[in-house]
Chain A
């Protein structure tokens, strides 16, 4: 049980972090001048080429764990959030395809323009809808399946995620992606291009902080249960405060060129944000119009949990050394050794 939960938490964190940085790279490219786009395109290929597939497998693991170990919880998600999840999916599809096309097409000609646009736009749209989905989970507009019959199509399938709070969450996550990517890429480009990414990182930081602030304030004043409890909870509020304070050493390390420190700090910030978001109500991390639902609602038998836990451990034992070696071989963590 704990193994399964730990894997669920780790995959969520890694997906938000790694795929976030991945999406962010595309978002940055979308908001760059022409020459900077070319630099970005090259860097993304060098840095993320070998690992980007691995980054996105975390979401498959996430989904598989949810549906095996927490089927009731998963069931509510896929019903109410059908539409944004479909859109996330389309985004992931287009993005993956565009990524391959723009780097593997045998000829580099005008068709590259199309691939680049596909890549950039889907890089922005996907995290927004992902954030919308997450916002939907916590905004308290999901209608419990047992009561679906008394509500209209729009109430059940649209307003559960299409509301101001969820949209703000979506934008917040997209900004977070750009933030992660810019900080990550600072360490990967040569010295002449560093200022570009430092500038991007500062814009992204401002966006993240202000969107985060707006989202929370909005949630507080409109009485979104999740936010109200969140602000009243000592653990989550202190985690958010720590995450905010970390911005200062983060910027100090960026300015002084300590790449690894800045990456660790940025990662920690995400950790604290996720921690803050889940700790208040855990395990009741789904909010419907009629109250919250526990992830342990109608649990699966212990035998299923055990088998899943064991297969995850075996899988992890196979994957993690390989992944580590992959990163090492391609000198992504050369800086750690320095």
Chain B
């Protein structure tokens, strides 16, 4: 079967984004762990912290570069795959991208200082460049997410007879969705990276390798992750209310909600049957959807049937992705609470192997939730590339044979992933072999 050009282009975009998101999140959040450990080294002069800082710094370098190259790839791909979109959207949402370029540049410069600055530049300034790396990384992330938010909440222009007129790039940057999306994503990045990094170190503790170091590493990473995870539901609530107002069809798909209803129930889990418009085997909470979306148990929630069939996303996919995200999110909130309780109980749980096993198993969950969240927002916006303005099929390149480009990317990224994983495994092994650096 020959894949349609648009499907190949969408798959390629999705595929490269899935990877870029992971690389970029780790590259953006890990510097924070690194500077905390660095600060502890400066304060305590405990060589374990120096060892930890130096090994995290290698991780930062590796993920920064993979994030940077996969980001460069995306900046090309946007134009190569979606020329019609970029032609019109470029002038409108270019600003966050140009600022992102600047933030990224600052990050690269600061990272240059940090990586090569040991014993060459004053200690405090050296530490401070690490802070700059972290802040500019988060800035980059926020700016890119703002550009994505614009696709969900197009603003800053007038759309008249197929022309984009009266362009106001500042208004487009500060579109109605930018804040909720950027907040949700930043917290998600901290949660996902924290649990992933913490989980890897927890596994090392569980295996009783270099326990002292890995325990310290775990605590730093999980503290960030737990705080972010516990705050995330609040941000999720803001996002849900925002979507309910501006993208009701997306909300309806997230909840597999077909008929417009007052006092709509919330479905948890379930199997969606798009033909019969039924959700089987679900748990139903009466009136909860109306409350979550509008803060009123009897508010009217629009159902999918209020929208023309060719303007609805793939309901099952969006619903499952949303359930995955929320479910794992809740799990991580509980894990975060467990960690704080353990901390409060003066370390007693830290001696139970099962505690470490639990956190090792949680390592991938944050990223699975995060990717699921992106599926919700991107698939949920379909068939539009710019919500209610431009359809994805009208934006795709006329060049045939994108499927070959897709295969190439799959091959290259698969190899990259294997290589990066292997490299990380070697870093950890190395860390366990050498014990500590000379101070």
Contacts and interface: CB of A to CB of B under 8 A. Distances in A.
Interface of A: 49-51, 53-54, 56-57, 59-61, 63-65, 67-69, 71-72, 74-75, 77-79, 82, 85-86, 88-90, 92-94, 96-97, 99-101, 104-107, 148, 153, 156-157, 300-301, 303-304, 307-308, 311-312, 314-316, 318-319, 322-323, 326, 329-330
Interface in B60-110: 61-62, 64-66, 68-73, 75-80, 83, 86-88, 90-92, 94-95, 97-99, 101-102, 104-106, 108-110
B115 A50 contact: yes
Which of B61, B102, B121 lies at the interface centre, i.e. has the most chain A CB atoms within 10 A of its CB? B102
A100 B87 contact: no
Cβ-closest 8 pairs across A and B: A68-B94, A315-B102, A106-B430, A67-B90, A50-B112, A78-B79, A96-B69, A53-B108
A322 B115 CA distance: 15
A50 B116 contact: yes
B246 interface: no
Given A51-B112, A68-B94, A153-B400, A96 B65 contact: yes
Given A61-B101, A64-B98, A97-B66, 11 more contacts: A50-B115, A53-B112, A69-B91, A72-B87, A75-B86, A75-B87, A157-B399, A304-B94, A315-B105, A318-B102, A323-B105
A311 B98 contact: yes
B412 A93 contact: yes
B72 A92 contact: yes
A79 B397 CA distance: 7
B123 interface: no
A176 to B, nearest CB: 22
Contacts of A319: 102, 105-106, 109
A314 B91 CA distance: 18
B270 interface: no
Contacts of A326: 109, 112-113
A124 to B, nearest CB: 18
Contact of B69 (A71, A79, A97): A97
B169 interface: yes
Contact of B90 (A50, A71, A329): A71
B280 interface: no
9 contacts: A49-B116, A63-B76, A63-B79, A64-B97, A78-B397, A79-B398, A311-B102, A315-B99, A322-B106
B97 A68 contact: yes
A99 B68 CA distance: 13
B234 interface: no
Contacts of B112: 49-51, 53-54, 326, 330
A321 B169 CA distance: 27
Contacts of A57: 101, 104-105, 108
Given A72-B87, A303-B169, A89 B117 contact: no
B394 interface: no
A304 B169 contact: yes
Interface string B257-294: 00000000000000000000000000000000000000
Interface stretch (B194-202, B213-221, B345-353, B421-429): B421-429
A50 B115 CA distance: 8
Interface residues of B, number: 67
Contacts of B71: 60
Contacts of A101: 419, 423
B408 interface: yes
B111 interface: yes
A205 B189 CA distance: 49
Contacts of A148: 398
A67 B94 contact: yes
Contacts of B108: 53-54, 57
A330 B114 CA distance: 12
A53 B98 contact: no
A303 B73 contact: no
Contacts of B111: 53
Nearest to A314: B102
Interface string B114-135: 0111001100000000000000
A60 B94 contact: no
Given A71-B87, A97-B66, A60 B75 contact: yes
Nearest to A324: B109
Contact of B72 (A89, A94, A311, A329): A89
B58 A104 contact: yes
Contacts of B7: none
A97 B113 CA distance: 20
B430 A100 contact: no
A104 B101 contact: no
A56 B400 contact: no
Contact of B98 (A50, A65, A104): A65
B316 interface: no
A104 B76 CA distance: 27
Contacts of A88: 76
Given A82-B399, A322-B109, A74 B98 contact: no
Contact of B79 (A74, A107, A308): A74
B405 interface: yes
A64 B169 CA distance: 14
B95 A318 contact: no
B174 interface: no
B61 A90 contact: no
A148 B412 CA distance: 31
Given A54-B108, A78-B79, A106-B58, A304 B91 contact: yes
Interface in B370-398: 397-398
Contacts of A318: 102, 105-106
Given A93-B412, A319-B102, A105 B426 contact: yes
Contacts of A311: 95, 98-99, 102
A79 B104 CA distance: 27
Contacts of B166: 301
Contacts of B73: 89, 92-93
A153 B109 CA distance: 43
A17 B75 CA distance: 21
